């Protein structure tokens, strides 16, 4: 090989080695490039912040009821109340009437037990027994509360059971009168057979309050 050709090849080889060396110095290898890209992405993410929204701004976006909607709600509530209140009042009144009738049966049963147990015979001299007599004789454990006046009991003297023989059968008939301490006669001289038919009312044949 001629000296000129050898020198040319040497110069070309040297220039190529310098080019490769420069490429290696300026261009990062694969692994380093990926690490740098991930680090750059993390820096960008850390710089991201959610926008600040105050409570006042949130409240501005809330919508309330309009005047018409509010009036509609009030009307609906008023209609429901107008229907429900009388019904509830009627239920409570019927409950009190039922309590009076139950007490009437209890007083008659206590009187029947007294007459049978004591061997008593109702007559023209003694044919009625008061609530006080039934209680004091041990035939009533307690004097019941007046369902129409729960702070008081029945009037122990005015509340009484009258006993008389039936004109047809000769069996004893029991008639009950219940009076409250407020001087209201709840049941007026009703025979035992008619107690369950009593209803609330304003006449002597009704349960009164």
Q: Which residue has the tokens 């005047």?
A: 67
- The answer to whether 175 touches 192, Cβ cutoff 8 Å, is yes
Give the pLDDT of residue 102: 95
pLDDT tens digit sequence for 165-205: 888 888 899 999 999 999 999 999 999 999 999 998 888 88
- Mean pLDDT for 131-136 is 95
The DSSP call for residue 194 is G
pLDDT class for 124, splitting at 50, 70, 90? confident
- The answer to whether 163 touches 122, Cβ cutoff 8 Å, is yes
**Cα angle, residue 177 at apex, residues 207 and 93 outer, rounded to 5°:** 20
Bridge partners (DSSP) of residue 161 are 129, 176
pLDDT tens digit sequence for 84-107: 887 788 888 889 999 999 999 999
* pLDDT higher at 36 or 172: 172
- The answer to whether 176 touches 104, Cβ cutoff 8 Å, is yes
Give the pLDDT of residue 144: 92
- Mean pLDDT for 121-142 is 92
Strand order in the sheet with 172-179: 128-130, 160-165, 172-179, 185-191
- The answer to whether 101 touches 144, Cβ cutoff 8 Å, is no
Give the pLDDT of residue 55: 60
Take residue 138 and report the two structure tokens written for it: 């041990």
Give the pLDDT of residue 53: 60
The DSSP call for residue 52 is P
72 phi, psi to nearest 5 deg: -65, -40
pLDDT tens digit sequence for 3-21: 444 444 444 455 545 544 4
Between the CA atoms of 187, 191, 195 and 198, what dihedral angle is there, to the nearest 10 degrees?
A: -60
Q: Give me the helices (H) in the chain, please.
A: 3-26, 30-46, 55-61, 67-118, 131-136
Query: In whole angstroms, what is the distance from residue 17 CA to residue 22 CA?
Result: 9
- Mean pLDDT for 44-72 is 66
The DSSP call for residue 207 is B
Nearest Cα residue to 116 out of 99, 129, 103, 104:
129
Q: Return mean pLDDT, the chain.
A: 79
- The answer to whether 143 touches 154, Cβ cutoff 8 Å, is yes
Give the pLDDT of residue 150: 87
Between 3-7, 20-24, 73-77, the lowest mean confidence (pLDDT) is in: 3-7
């Amino acid at each position: 090989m001629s000296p000129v050709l050898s020198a040319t090849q040497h110069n070309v080889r040297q220039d190529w080695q310098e080019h490769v060396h420069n490429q290696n110095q300026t261009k990062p290898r694969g692994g380093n490039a990926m690490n740098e890209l991930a680090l750059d992405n993390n820096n960008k993410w850390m710089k991201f912040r959610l926008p600040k929204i105050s409570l006042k701004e949130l409240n501005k976006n809330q919508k309330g009821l309009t005047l018409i909607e509010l009036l509609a709600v009030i009307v609906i509530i008023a209609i429901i109340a107008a229907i429900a209140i009388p019904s509830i009042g009627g239920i409570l009144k019927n409950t009190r009437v039922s309590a009076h009738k139950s007490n009437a049966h209890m007083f008659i049963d206590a009187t029947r037990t007294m007459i049978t147990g004591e061997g008593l015979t109702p007559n023209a001299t003694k044919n009625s027994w008061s609530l006080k007599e039934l209680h004091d004789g041990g035939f009533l454990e307690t004097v019941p509360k007046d369902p129409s006046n729960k702070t008081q009991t029945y009037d122990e003297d005015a509340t009484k059971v009258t006993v008389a023989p039936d004109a047809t059968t000769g069996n004893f008939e029991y008639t009950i009168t219940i009076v409250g301490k407020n001087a209201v006669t709840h049941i007026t001289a009703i025979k035992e057979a008619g107690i369950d038919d009593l209803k609330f009312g304003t006449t002597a044949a009704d349960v009164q309050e």
